């Protein structure tokens, strides 16, 4: 009996260690997105944009660590554009996505990123209809996110002063298109979708139209 109890305890310990090990290998990194509508605004401003704009967004991921399908994603950068026939606030509106993976990533990493996003965020992000390669620049400092993909899209996003989005949560509309931890609203100095296979080019600036934070899949 003592041997059976000891074996059971050892088995539980092994399971616990395995769970910790699995959790420690989560896919993590930084995320930022910018939309064609304010995500932090008064109700009248929000309702005015709801039926006229807010159908497009650009987003970017910078992977710090973790693996998917056996492929290490540390250091990989990716960006995407999404477009819809209705406001992205409409959860039932069909969405199409074009994904760009940095040319520094291997073919295996590019495939793993596409499969990861399809599995984890397709419900909110939409259908990935195109995947291509291009240099992706993703710079994150304490005061700014700067993303640039030549011939595709770019954005510059800064934290809001005094964390106003947290002090007035009732004025935060929508939720990020990719699940993130410690979600914050960002001030978009500039954001543009310049060329790609989805929708028309657009440009926005000087508005509270961004979300940013860290992700863990």
- Domain coordinates of the chain in residue numbers? 27-216
pLDDT surpasses 70 at 70: yes
Percent of the chain with pLDDT over 70: 86
pLDDT given at position 164: 57
Q: What is the pTM of this model?
A: 0.85
pLDDT given at position 111: 97
What average pLDDT does the structure give for the chain?
Answer: 86
Residues 80, 158, 74, 117, CA torsion sign:
negative
Tokens of 13: 């310990």
pLDDT tens per residue across span 136-152? 999 999 899 999 999 99
Residue pair 108/69 in contact (Cβ under 8 Å)? The answer is no
């Amino acid at each position: 009996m003592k041997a059976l109890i000891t074996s059971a305890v050892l088995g539980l310990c092994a399971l616990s260690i395995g769970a910790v090990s699995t959790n420690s290998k989560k896919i993590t990194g930084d995320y930022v997105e910018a939309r064609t509508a304010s995500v932090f605004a008064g109700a009248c401003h929000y309702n005015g944009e709801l039926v006229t704009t807010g159908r497009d967004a650009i987003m970017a991921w910078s992977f710090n660590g973790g693996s998917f399908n056996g492929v290490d994603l540390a250091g990989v950068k990716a960006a995407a554009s999404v477009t819809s026939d209705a406001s992205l606030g409409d959860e039932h509106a069909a969405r199409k996505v074009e994904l760009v993976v940095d040319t520094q990533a291997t073919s295996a990493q590019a495939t793993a990123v596409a499969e990861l996003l399809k599995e984890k965020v397709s419900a909110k992000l939409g259908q990935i209809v195109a995947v291509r390669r291009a240099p992706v620049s993703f710079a994150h400092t304490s005061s700014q996110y700067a993303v640039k993909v030549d011939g595709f899209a770019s954005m510059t996003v800064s934290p809001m002063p005094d964390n106003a989005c947290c002090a007035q949560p009732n004025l935060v509309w929508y939720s990020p298109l990719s699940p993130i931890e410690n979600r914050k609203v960002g001030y978009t100095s500039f954001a543009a979708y310049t060329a790609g296979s989805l929708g028309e080019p657009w440009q926005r600036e000087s508005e509270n139209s961004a979300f940013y934070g860290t992700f863990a899949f």
